[in-house]
Structure formats: C-alpha cells, structure tokens
Amino acid sequence: MRVIKSNVAIIVIVAITSIVCVAQTIPEPSQLELGSAGGGYGGGTITPRSLPIYSQDIVREYGLSIAVRGYRSVNAESLDRAYDGITYTNVQGKGAEDILDKLFAVQFIYRLTNPADEVRGDVYLYDQYDNVLFYGNAMYAADSLGKVNPVYSIWMQKMPMLNDVQSAEILATDPDGSTAKRISVEIRSGQLLFDPWMAGSKNGILVVRFINGTILTYPLAKPIGVAPATTGEMSSYNIQDHYVVNGPVGPEGYTLPLTLKVIALWNRPTAYLRATNALELSVDVTGVVQDGQITFERPASMVIWQEGKEKAFDPIPLNGDKPTPVSIPVGNFRIRFTWTKFGQPGLLYTGPEGPVGEKG
C-alpha cells in the first residue's frame, strides 16, 4: 500500500431654548437603569434609544437640564483668609439657569492685603452624581470692581450619559465606512462621559456596552441607537503550494479512481488526501524548471504516510514520462515528492547593503 503526505495547516453662557425629544421605550436591556442622570433634556427623557449626541446645541440643552447644584468661589494671592467674609457659595437648583441665578445673586465680600492683585473667580455646575457639567471663570483686578462687573465665561464639559455602562468607544470611519480609528470614552460611576465637540460628526459611531452584555451603537449624526446585527460567516482556506484532496465516496469495499494533478511553478508541492474508500490514485505531478530555458520535470518518487502512523511508507517510484497509478487504502494521508532539478533552494545574498555605489 502507498500513502500521502502534506502540511495540513488548517488551511456657562447658556442658551435658554428647549428642544422637545420624545422618549422611546426600549425592550432591552430591561434589567438596567438606563435613564441618564437628572432625567430629561429639552422636556424629554433620555433613553438608550435616544441620546442627545447629534448636535452640540442638543448636548448643551441636555447638560443644562440635568444640573442640580452649583459652586462659585473667588481667590487671589493676597486674599486675607482670616477675614470673616464670603468667598464661596454652594446652591441647589433645578436646571443650570436656576442654579446660576442663585450663585450670582450672592455678593462676595473679601479683603486683599494687596488690592492690585488679580482675582480669579470659578464656577461649577454639577449633576446629581457630582459630574462637572459646566465650568467657567473670570479674571479681574480687585481695584476695578465697582467700575466694571466681572463676567464669567462658562463652557461645557464632558456630558454624562446612560447608566450601567461597562465600556464605550467612538469609531471614526473612513469615507468607505470602514473603521479607521477607535477612541476610548471615559466611564465614571457607570456613566459614559461624552465630548460635546464630537456631536453630530458624520463619520463617528458611539459604541456602548452595558454591564449585562448588551451592546448599542449610535451614529453621532443621529439620535437613535440600534443593537448591532449578528454576522454569520462561512469561509474556506488555501495553503500556498499545498493541495487538500477529498477522495470520492462510494459503497463500502469499493475501490474508486482519483487523479492528483499538479503543475508546480516555483515551490515544491505537498498534498493531503482524505480517502473514505480505497482509491486507485493516478499521480500526475509536474514541476516547471526555469534554468536558462523552460523544461518540465516529473518527481522521481512520492513520499507518503498515513496520519496516525509513526513511520512513512517506503518512497514510491514515479514514472518520468507519464502519470503513475498508486493504490491507496482508507485513511488520511500526507504526501510530498522528491525532485532532481525542480524547486532547488537559492543562495542567501552576501553582497553589500544600501544604495548602489555606496561604500560600506
């Protein structure tokens, strides 16, 4: 009997407008508390199916609506901290405008040992989870007070959204829609912190994974999230210069014909044969020899062994001018061939490196 061999490598300045967004129910993840801190934005309720991420003004409206407390303070290099005055205040409120009105209704009273020093004022707005929603400041000389009242400039910060978030990222896509870059999104206390400057980006996708394993994706240019579709794939493989052959199937005990035909151009071939019936295998293998002129060579012999056996069969001589018939029993076999000229290895380069003409 003869057998076959091959390598089977399987093969805060605030806008005082409001936007009405209708809340949408979500059937999953039903066990999670997914409404965002503070409830709604623009009169609606944020849900996992409707995020305010498709425009910066929408993000701002959302942030303004979920503010529940604020803090304002002043400081200076020569501030007399022993003086019993008022240099900071905390207030509670409903929404940014209410909180800011209360913060700036407080008159600060303080004393500087050097009235020429610059005073810095800071203001913060927080949600119910103590996330900073807006931050602002003002810089002014103390001796200018009374002439010009300081005006605080206030900016949006990262906006907390959703609860029970395990991880999140932004996918930046190329014009063809494929992912070009992945940007991590910060998670704090189970909420994602969204950068407002990304809102509405036409080539961005927010991907959110919740603690129960649910995943939702949100195009940054749209408010609606969807669960990604499951992709099914059936693939095949091709190992270079290796041939996987499944023998024909017939009644048990029958010997069936099969031809193994290979024309190899550069590298010596190998094969893997699955025989569910005994086979009369016609070995028709040729290599193209390019040695100044093109000639054809048939291998001198075939080395074949049965999978699971420790030792290969003795090499089987092959005809030099025509295909060779070989009897193959039932089993899986690996095959390679011995050659005289075809597929001889080349020599490693030993010349100089670098551009032509450059001296080493």
- Domain positions in the chain: 12-162+220-229, 242-338
User: How far is it, in rounded angstroms, from Cα 29 to Cα 49?
Assistant: 11
pLDDT confidence bin for 278, thresholds 50/70/90: very high
As given in the structure block, the two tokens for residue 112 are 């500087």
Top CATH class of 242-338 equals mainly beta
Say how far apart CA 328 and CA 322 lie, in whole Å: 19
> Distance between CA atoms of 286 and 264, rounded to whole angstroms?
6
Burial 236-268 (b: 16+ CB within 10 A, else e): eeeeebbbbbebeeeeeeeebebebebebeeeb
CA distance 89 to 73: 7
Out of 17-26, 34-43, 159-168, which region has the weakest mean confidence (pLDDT)? 17-26
Q: Alpha-carbon distance 217 to 177, whole Å?
A: 14
pLDDT band at residue 48, thresholds of 50, 70 and 90?
Answer: low
pTM above 0.85, yes or no: no
Question: Three-class SS of residue 26?
Answer: coil
pLDDT band at 289 (very low <50, low <70, confident <90, very high): very high
CA dist 72 and 90 (Å) reads 7
Q: How far apart are CA 47 and CA 60, in angstroms?
A: 17
Place of tokens 């810095």: 120
Residue 344 in this model has a pLDDT that exceeds 80 = yes
**pLDDT tens across 170-225, in order?**
999 999 999 999 999 999 999 999 999 999 999 999 999 999 999 999 999 986 88
**Confidence class for position 146, pLDDT limits 50, 70, 90:** confident
Q: Residue 217 has which token pair?
A: 């994706």
Q: What is the mean pLDDT of the chain?
A: 84
More confident call, 320 vs 6:
320
- Position 137, amino acid: N
CB burial string 208-219: b at 16+ within 10 A, e below: bebeeebbbebb
The whole-number pLDDT of residue 15 equals: 28
DSSP-based three-state secondary structure for 205:
strand
